Structure 1
Amino acid sequence: MFNEAPDRHLIRRTAVIGSGIAGPTAEILLKEQGQSVTVFEKSRAPGGRLAAKRVPGSSADIGAQYFTARNPAFPDFLTRYAGDDSFTTWPGRLVFQHRDGRREPFPEEERYVGTPRFDRVVVTAPPAQAGDLMQASGLEEVAARLEQSISALAPCWAVAAHFSQPLDPGFDGIRCQHPVLYWAANNSSKPGREDSGQWWVLHGNAEWTTAHLDASRSRWVRSW
């Protein structure tokens, strides 16, 4: 599956496009070779042809209806990386229909499906968003426990400013002593940023941002 190249030891970061069956499998095998892997997916969730959609009180498999294991090592692979409670066999009565209307059963073999259930949910959203999610889910007690974390967060206005002609103020990053700005950095000076012109990132300080949290973006961009 993975072709060797003379300079393979120089490859450390790999992008995998698509999170169907092949994408996560490639991710696993590449990580076992010491790669740092990022999987990109254009859809809202992984799954590819095995994707499911939520329906009231359940989920519906709208893509491939099941999968088989031609290689006897495949179930062991799934158990190792997904857990033996993440899939099971489907004892469904499957039949072929002939043109004359006759039916005959599918050949005998094990057909697997995912088991869509969660014993635990890990929420990695920022505390404020996680609190809203808990409230909407009827978990008011959990939401209340996030209040302290939410109140400890400081907001930050951020602006990305482009200059067609590069600037040279004598630095590439500065922690400012300014009534508005907290930080300014030449983003184009970072490795791997072969930009046309120059991009600078500006961060407003927490006090100013808090006072103008709901202000118009265009208004403050002009003032800066």
Structure 2
Amino acid sequence: MSSSSMRILNHDLYKSACEEELSLIKADLSSIAAIHIIKIAGYTKSIMKKVQSVAIIGAGIAGISCAKALKASGKLVTLFDKSTGPGGRTSHRLFEHWGADHGAQYFTAKGDLFKKEVNTWIKAGVIEPWLGKIVSINKKQTTEVDNLAQRYVGVPTMNSLAKYLASDIPVMLSHTISKIAKTEEGWILFSKEKGQHPKSFDLIVIAIPPKQAESLLGGQFKGLSEICANARMLPCWTLISFFV
């Protein structure tokens, strides 16, 4: 959608679900890496020094941000995603003669560190301020939501930011990871499309929605699987329409 378009949504559900969904994008990239790697499974900084190769399942904003931080620290990183392009919750869907963003409608920047990062993305031409209207529909009444916070969208599509951030990272697309296993050589991954991946990895980071992660972990990793099972996600409805 262009920056002049109107987006209609249930604002209360959107605020509680989608803004939380994008909360990781507002953090320092190195902090994201720390959240996903050092804390998961009790990994410490001393153990991380021994890690050379990392597979990240999920090429959304969180997975890509984690990958960039790891690459900056000297690790060999490979992203895996089931979709045909990176983006996750910032995806863009193509139809026969048109396309639409069907994930997060926008994001905001509050912290100074993140605002600085946002400015670099604006200069790179992959995002821009969004000045469109947001309305709340309740009992047949339409009310415009306050527009005090500066909102940003990807240009020309919402997934432009993800593509830009992942441009220097190997991304294995159309790889639906269905199984992970630990061997003497390291972690190995299996996808529905390609079977076993030829390379092994020292560490795996799972950066996909809880329900998908629960299915992947199964009974093999009971503790992590239970965490995913108990995670609560709120729905966010998106209307995709085309006018002629």
**Higher-helix-fraction structure:** 2
TM-score, normalised via structure 2 length: 0.43
Q: Which has the larger radius of gyration?
A: 1
Larger RCO: 1 or 2 (CA < 8 Å, sep 6+): 2
TM-score, normalised via structure 1 length: 0.47
